[in-house]
């Protein structure tokens, strides 16, 4: 049993904690909460609560929330920490992990340069084999790597061009935006292009990102120039070999992210999350070796199975396909809704 501590119990941390808790080869040693709010109360029903600094123990206990100590105590009792603190904080936490000899998985808000390998289960599971510091790439990059990998495997990829329509913020946030505007990312390519290359060995990549006022999902329009020609049918068949890709159809009335998330709600898995990347079958096309498709990414949850698989690779617990199969079965990934 690998003991996994979770530092940061927000959008990603709480989902990783759940996903780890349903694995047979891992257990959650505890979670770090920084404020004694309703989420800490909920978390304390399932997990041991730790705090970032000693001073917080009394603040939590004054609110009636029992703690099991500080982050240092959690590290002491863990084989690995999944760091899901806010963007940029993981880099600051790394020396603490190094000092105590604990492994750590970081998230997409951290730079590739702070780890030994960036991770995507399909495209480069073995790069993290036995490593101490690994980063699961961001929700957008995970979405791109997931669907480009089958194309890369079957037909080869010369270059990628993608437009990313990004959600403004997550559903639990009432402060960030935009609220009534469309915000283009002015750095081109956006950071997703170099990020993709850390997990998938494709040639030239160009990405443009635009933020819009929605919280549900991101939508990507992807074009990949393939080394070999292919067809729509062959692309759909390549996608169908991978559980973490969900075909959806406008003919069935799935015409926006609203209906994609409705499918997830009907399936009623954990928090009604959609771990899979949804690809609209009508959008899949091939012209002169250029594969095109449109996909939707549930930013709160697509990286969760990758965190579980990253832990397995870092401890050399299972080879790629076995780990993915186990994670998929335990989280209900690929479970048919209709």
Neighbour tally for 170: CB within 10 Å: 14
Q: Which residue has the tokens 């390549």?
A: 238
Return the structure tokens found at 95.
């020396």
Q: Is the Cβ–Cβ distance between 75 and 100 less than 8 Å?
A: yes
Interface with ligand NAD in residues 2-21 (CB under 6 A)? 7-13
**Binding range to ligand NAD, per CB under 6 A, among 85-93, 145-153, 280-288, 320-328:** 85-93
Q: Compute the least distance from the CB of residue 139 to ligand NAD, in Å.
A: 4
Taking CB under 6 A as the criterion, the residue among 3, 59, 68, 109 binding ligand NAD is 109
115 or 235: CB nearest ligand NAD? 115
Taking CB under 6 A as the criterion, the residue among 36, 108, 189, 305 binding ligand NAD is 108
Contact between 303 and ligand NAD per CB under 6 A: yes
Contact between 139 and ligand NAD per CB under 6 A: yes
Q: Is the Cβ–Cβ distance between 35 and 10 less than 8 Å?
A: no
Q: Is 139 a residue of the active site?
A: yes
Bridge partners, residue 167, by sequence: 212
Contact between 69 and ligand NAD per CB under 6 A: no
Interface with ligand NAD in residues 196-225 (CB under 6 A)? none
Q: Is the Cβ–Cβ distance between 43 and 36 less than 8 Å?
A: no
- Closest residue to ligand NAD using C-beta atoms: 10
95 or 336: CB nearest ligand NAD? 95
159 or 270: CB nearest ligand NAD? 270
Given the residues 26, 117, 134, 139, the one annotated as active site? 139
65 or 238: CB nearest ligand NAD? 65
154 or 170: CB nearest ligand NAD? 170
Q: Compute the least distance from the CB of residue 83 to ligand NAD, in Å.
A: 8
Taking CB under 6 A as the criterion, the residue among 1, 54, 63, 86 binding ligand NAD is 86
Report long-range pairs for 265-271 (Cβ below 8 Å, ≥24 apart): 266/337, 267/332, 267/335, 267/337, 269/331, 269/332, 269/335, 270/15, 270/18, 270/19, 270/331, 270/332, 271/15, 271/18, 271/300, 271/301
Q: Compute the least distance from the CB of residue 337 to ligand NAD, in Å.
A: 23
69 or 109: CB nearest ligand NAD? 109
Q: Compute the least distance from the CB of residue 306 to ligand NAD, in Å.
A: 10
Q: What would you report as the CA-atom Rg of the chain, rounded to the nearest whole angstrom?
A: 20
23 or 307: CB nearest ligand NAD? 307
Q: Compute the least distance from the CB of residue 323 to ligand NAD, in Å.
A: 20
Interface with ligand NAD in residues 19-58 (CB under 6 A)? 32, 34-35, 52
Interacting residues toward ligand NAD by CB under 6 A: 7-13, 32, 34-35, 52, 84-87, 107-110, 138-139, 170, 299-300, 303
Q: List the catalytic residues.
A: 139
């Amino acid at each position: 049993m690998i003991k996994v501590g979770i530092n940061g119990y927000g959008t990603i941390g709480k989902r990783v904690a759940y996903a780890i808790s349903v694995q047979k080869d891992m257990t959650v040693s505890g979670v770090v909460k920084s404020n004694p709010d309703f989420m800490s109360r909920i978390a304390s029903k399932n997990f041991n609560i730790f705090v970032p600094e000693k001073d917080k123990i009394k603040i939590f206990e004054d609110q009636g929330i029992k703690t099991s100590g500080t982050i240092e105590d959690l590290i002491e009792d863990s084989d690995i920490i999944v760091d899901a603190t806010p963007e940029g904080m993981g880099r600051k936490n790394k020396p603490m992990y190094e000092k105590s000899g604990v492994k750590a998985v970081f998230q997409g808000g951290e730079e590739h340069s702070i780890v030994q390998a960036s991770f995507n289960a399909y495209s480069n599971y073995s790069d993290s084999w036995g490593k101490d510091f690994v980063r699961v790439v961001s929700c957008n990059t995970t979405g791109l790597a997931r669907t480009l990998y089958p194309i890369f495997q079957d037909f080869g990829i010369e270059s990628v061009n993608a437009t990313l329509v990004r959600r403004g913020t997550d559903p639990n946030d009432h402060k960030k935006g935009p609220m009534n505007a469309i915000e283009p990312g002015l750095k081109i390519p956006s950071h997703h292009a170099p990020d993709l290359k850390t997990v998938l060995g494709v040639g030239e990549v160009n990405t443009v990102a635009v933020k819009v006022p929605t919280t549900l999902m991101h939508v990507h329009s992807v074009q990949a120039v393939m080394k070999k020609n292919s067809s729509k049918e062959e692309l759909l068949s390549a996608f169908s070999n991978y559980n973490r890709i969900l075909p959806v159809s406008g003919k069935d009335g799935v015409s926006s992210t609203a209906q994609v998330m409705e499918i997830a709600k009907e399936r009623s898995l954990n928090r009604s999350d959609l771990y899979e990347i949804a690809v609209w079958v009508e959008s899949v096309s091939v012209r002169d070796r250029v594969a095109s498709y449109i996909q939707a990414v549930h930013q709160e949850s697509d990286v969760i199975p990758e965190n579980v698989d990253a832990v397995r690779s870092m401890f050399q617990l299972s080879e790629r396909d076995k780990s993915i199969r186990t994670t998929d079965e335990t989280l209900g990934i690929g479970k048919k809704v209709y």
